[in-house]
C-alpha cells in the first residue's frame, strides 16, 4: 500500500511541475503572440555570414 502512496505523491509532483511550467509560460507572455515566432524562426542569418566572410577575405 505504501508504494502506491509514494507513487501518487510522485505523480502529483510531476503533474504539478507541468502545471507550474504552463502557468509560467502564460505569465512570461509566450501565449501573447502566437504568430510572429513561427515566422521568425524561418529567417536565417545567411547574409550576415556572407558579410563576415567578405570582410575576412578583404582583411586577409
Site mask for another protein (CB under 8 A), range 2-31, x = bound: --xx--x--xx--xx-xx--xx--xx---x
Extract long-range pairs of 28-36: CB within 8 Å, 24+ residues apart.
none
The least CB distance from residue 47 to another protein, in Å, is 5
Contact status: 1 vs another protein (CB under 8 A): yes
Check residue 41 for interaction with another protein (CB under 8 A).
no
Of 31, 36, 7, 35, the closest CA to residue 21 belongs to: 31
Distance CA 14, CA 27 (A): 20
Residue 26 Cβ vs another protein, minimum distance, rounded to whole Å: 5
Amino acid at each position: 500500500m505504501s508504494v502506491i502512496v509514494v507513487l501518487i505523491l510522485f505523480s502529483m509532483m510531476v503533474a504539478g511541475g507541468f502545471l507550474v511550467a504552463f502557468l509560467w509560460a502564460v505569465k512570461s507572455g509566450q501565449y501573447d503572440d502566437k504568430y510572429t515566432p513561427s515566422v521568425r524562426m524561418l529567417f536565417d542569418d545567411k547574409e550576415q555570414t556572407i558579410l563576415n566572410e567578405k570582410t575576412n577575405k578583404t582583411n586577409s
